């Protein structure tokens, strides 16, 4: 699904064929209860270190003993073993079947936001997957659509954490529109559009607000804006509801736009406009025990 287009120090990739936002939105569910036995096929994605791979082998063995099928192509549940970064990779690997797949994360390093089960809890998690009723919670995603000046088709991406926009040539100079109306002229290092679950990631480093994932919204945070008589920005992070959209239009040079989607990075030329909104698609997490969001925030950042 992803192909590299540029060698160099940074991983620079182009995502092809990820057409999003076209599917009919089903019921706007936030939480659903499922009976034991619903999960029949599983896949395991690891960070690929020795310890995570060893846990992967144990999970495959245990779940196979419970008569679940190891199916890396069409899993009902994807178990990520590593950290938040591993879950981000798993999300992008299975982006084509978000409606049919739930995710759960085990961390083999520090407690993660997406990876909240410990390595010591593997047996407990496996039994829960095979034998217990469970909840599925759905969290909002960010849709990013890049439009081009050379009339090539727009490309769309889904992000679980965020999309950042920078200029590979230096300062990013762009107009920012909200719902097609000019809002401000931005000049600075870049812009970060995040999901509610991504609000604790890069967005937090930019002094953005932490948003509860039950609020379908996107957040725009600035990276080091320059303010003068010509370029003036609001300075505060903006939170947009799901029926609003935001556009970034290059002023002057439309080449060399560095767009990141979670851990992925790519360069786009001939950029006419980049549009951001809450995606119709959602990510599903399997919850086998309660995990209050604010508790996770406290444990991660306050201790
Ligand atoms: P990684 O797996 O090393 O992740 C980087 C760090 O971000 C880890 O500590 C991870 O636990 C944390 N993280 C990821 N998602 C999070 C979330 N939703 N809430 C709280 N913490 C989260 O490296 P990677 O795979 O390249 O991760 C990509 C992510 O790194 C990006 O999506 C971005 O959010 C984050 N990032 C942050 C900064 C920053 O804060 N200055 C800069 C670049 C990237």
Domain count, the chain: 2
94 touches 75 (CB < 8 A) = yes
Residue 1 belongs to some domain of the structure: no
Tell whether 216 and 109 lie within a shared domain: no
pLDDT for res 232: 84
Tell whether 80 and 70 lie within a shared domain: yes
CATH of the domain at 93: 3.40.50.10330
Task: Say if ligand 1 is within 6 A of residue 270 CB.
Answer: no
pLDDT for res 56: 98
113 touches 292 (CB < 8 A) = no
| Helical segments of the chain, H only | 50-65, 84-93, 122-131, 202-205, 293-301
Q: Which residues contact 117 (CB under 8 A, 6 or more apart)?
A: 104, 105, 106, 107, 125
Tell whether 77 and 115 lie within a shared domain: yes
Task: Say if ligand 1 is within 6 A of residue 196 CB.
Answer: no
Tell whether 36 and 89 lie within a shared domain: yes
Task: Say if ligand 1 is within 6 A of residue 277 CB.
Answer: no
| pLDDT tens by residue, the chain, 303 residues | 333 322 333 333 334 333 343 333 334 345 699 999 999 999 999 999 999 999 999 999 999 999 999 999 999 999 999 999 999 999 999 999 999 999 999 999 888 899 999 999 999 999 999 999 999 999 999 999 999 999 899 999 999 999 999 999 999 999 999 999 999 999 999 999 999 999 999 999 999 999 999 999 999 999 999 998 877 899 999 999 999 999 999 999 899 999 999 999 999 999 999 999 999 999 999 999 988 999 999 998 998
**Ligand 1 atom nearest 112 alpha carbon:** 11
Say how many Å lie between the CA of residue 198 and the centre of ligand 1: 9
* Residue of 12, 52, 84 with the most ligand 1 atoms within 8 Å of its CB, for mutation: 84
**CA end-to-end span of the chain, whole Å?**
39
Which range marks the domain in which residue 223 is found?
141-281
Active site residue 84: yes
Residue 171 belongs to some domain of the structure: yes
What's the token pair of residue 265? Answer: 């990075």
Name the closest-CA residue to atom 40, ligand 1. 202
Residue 289 belongs to some domain of the structure: yes
Name the closest-CA residue to atom 14, ligand 1. 84
Name the closest-CA residue to atom 43, ligand 1. 202
Name the closest-CA residue to atom 39, ligand 1. 202
Say how many Å lie between the CA of residue 221 and the centre of ligand 1: 16
**What is the distance of C-alpha 115 from the center of its chain?**
14
What's the token pair of residue 11? Answer: 């991983």
Q: CA–CA distance from 171 to each of 67, 166, 224, 250, 299 (Å)?
A: 56, 8, 10, 11, 36
| pTM of the complete model beyond 0.85 | yes
CATH of the domain at 230: 2.60.200.30
pLDDT for res 5: 27
Task: Say if ligand 1 is within 6 A of residue 237 CB.
Answer: no
Task: Say if ligand 1 is within 6 A of residue 91 CB.
Answer: no
Tell whether 106 and 162 lie within a shared domain: no
Tell whether 101 and 81 lie within a shared domain: yes
Tell whether 150 and 272 lie within a shared domain: yes
Tell whether 54 and 103 lie within a shared domain: yes
Tell whether 165 and 78 lie within a shared domain: no
Residue 17 belongs to some domain of the structure: no
SS3 85: helix
Say how many Å lie between the CA of residue 207 and the centre of ligand 1: 15
Name the closest-CA residue to atom 21, ligand 1. 201
- Active-site option among 49, 71, 76, 84: 84
Say how many Å lie between the CA of residue 43 and the centre of ligand 1: 23
Residue 162 belongs to some domain of the structure: yes
Task: Say if ligand 1 is within 6 A of residue 113 CB.
Answer: yes
d(CA 105, CA 121) in angstroms, rounded, equals 11
108 touches 9 (CB < 8 A) = no
**Ligand 1 atom nearest 159 alpha carbon:** 32
């Amino acid at each position: 699904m992803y192909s590299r287009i540029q060698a160099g120090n940074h991983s620079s990739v182009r995502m092809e064929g990820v057409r999003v936002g076209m599917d009919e939105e089903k019921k706007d569910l936030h939480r659903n209860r499922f009976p034991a036995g619903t999960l029949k096929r599983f896949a395991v994605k690891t960070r690929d270190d020795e310890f995570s791979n060893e846990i992967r082998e144990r999970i495959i063995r245990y779940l196979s003993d419970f008569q679940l099928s190891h199916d890396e192509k069409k899993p009902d549940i994807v178990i990520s073993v590593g950290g938040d970064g591993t879950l981000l990779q798993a999300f992008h690997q299975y982006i084509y079947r978000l409606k049919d797949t739930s995710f759960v994360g085990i961390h083999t390093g520090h407690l993660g936001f997406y990876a909240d089960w410990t390595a010591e809890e593997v047996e407990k998690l496996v039994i829960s997957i095979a034998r217990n009723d469970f909840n599925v919670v759905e969290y909002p995603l960010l849709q990013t659509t890049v439009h081009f000046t050379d009339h090539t088709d727009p490309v769309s991406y889904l992000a679980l954490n965020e999309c950042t926009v920078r200029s590979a040539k230096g300062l990013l100079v762009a107009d920012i529109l909200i719902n097609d109306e000019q809002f401000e002229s931005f000049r600075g290092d870049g812009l970060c559009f995040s999901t509610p679950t991504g609000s604790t990631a890069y967005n937090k480093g930019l002094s953005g607000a932490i948003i509860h994932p039950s609020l379908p919204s996107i957040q725009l945070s600035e990276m080091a804006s320059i303010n003068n008589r010509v370029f003036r920005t609001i300075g505060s992070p903006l939170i947009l509801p799901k029926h609003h959209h935001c556009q970034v239009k290059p002023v002057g040079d439309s080449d060399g736009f560095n767009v990141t989607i979670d851990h992925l990075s790519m360069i786009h030329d001939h950029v006419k406009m980049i549009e951001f909104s809450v995606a119709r698609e959602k990510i599903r997490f399997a919850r086998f025990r309660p995990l209050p969001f604010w508790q996770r925030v406290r444990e991660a950042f306050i201790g």
